[in-house]
Copies of this chain bind each other. A is one copy, B any other.
């Protein structure tokens, strides 16, 4: 009962690339199909019943908490080879919305298939559990960023985190990485007004640290970026 939807070698990078080759080989056939969704489209809503989880293969997706006043806060961003909503497998639904930020290619894992496999594969189960916990560790990192860092450090920290994660995902380069986010997007992620995001980006530009233009982050001084953002290079490596 092999499946052509996803080959084990597709899982050799990014977050899932941290799993052992054996585990990746057991995970791949649990994918029922791949799917493409358009950018800037709501993918799933809070409280909606879900019977499948998806792994992001290409593109960017964002997760949002919204309140009645229409305020919206991005609570997570997924880069290629991240599971987007694996936590809906044990939970059954999500407490937030998921949106495709760009056109995205997804690998679909039906919960039924997962459950059947994990019942007989304790090792794989614990590995997937661990992946959802890394998600939690990144949440804590965001909590720290939003709670303790001023705007300049906060933006720098976010851009540094994305740099790290993009490189792990295999889509980063020495000089920077593609980040198709607008300034309003950044303001959703970093908890500040779009106008202030603009101010800070100018500051980063004038300090010759990095620029964000045309959906691309160009890093002029990576070391300074990481220091400005108080970002520990090893942070993501420790938990991955």
Determine if B132 and A133 form an interchain contact, defined as CB atoms under 8 angstroms apart.
Answer: yes
Tell me whether A87 is interfacial, beta carbon within 8 Å: yes
Residue numbers in B under 8 Å from A133 (CB-CB): 87, 90-91, 132, 136
Copies held by the complex: 2
At the interface, yes or no: A125 with Cβ under 8 Å from chain B? yes
Q: Give 1 or 0 for each of A118-133: 1 = CB within 8 Å of chain B CB.
A: 1100100110011011
Bound-state Cα–Cα, A235 to B68, Å: 13
Q: Write out the residue numbers on chain B whose beta carbons fall within 8 Å of the beta carbon of A142.
A: 143
CB < 8 Å neighbour of A90 from B68, B91, B130, B144: B130
Count contacts on A: residues with CB < 8 A to the other chain.
43
Residues of B within 8 A of A132 (CB): 129, 132-133, 136
Tell me, in angstroms, the Cα distance from A141 to B122 when the chains sit together: 31
Q: How far is the CA of A68 from the CA of B235 in the complex (A)?
A: 13
The interface stretch among A23-31, A69-77, A176-184 is A69-77
C-alpha gap A239/B143 in the complex (Å) = 20
Q: Any chain B CB within 8 A of the CB of A212?
A: no
Q: Are A147 and B191 in contact (CB under 8 A)?
A: yes
- Tell me whether A190 is interfacial, beta carbon within 8 Å: yes
A33 within 8 A of B: no
Contact string against B for A residues 204-240, beta-carbon threshold 8 Å, 1 for contact and 0 otherwise: 0000000000000000000000000010000100110
Query: Per-position contact with B for A121-159: 1 when CB-CB < 8 Å, else 0?
Result: 010011001101101110111111011100000000000
Say which residue of B47, B75, B119, B140 sits within 8 Å of A75 (CB atoms).
B140
**6 nearest A-B residue pairs (beta carbon):** A147-B191, A139-B139, A146-B146, A136-B136, A65-B144, A75-B140
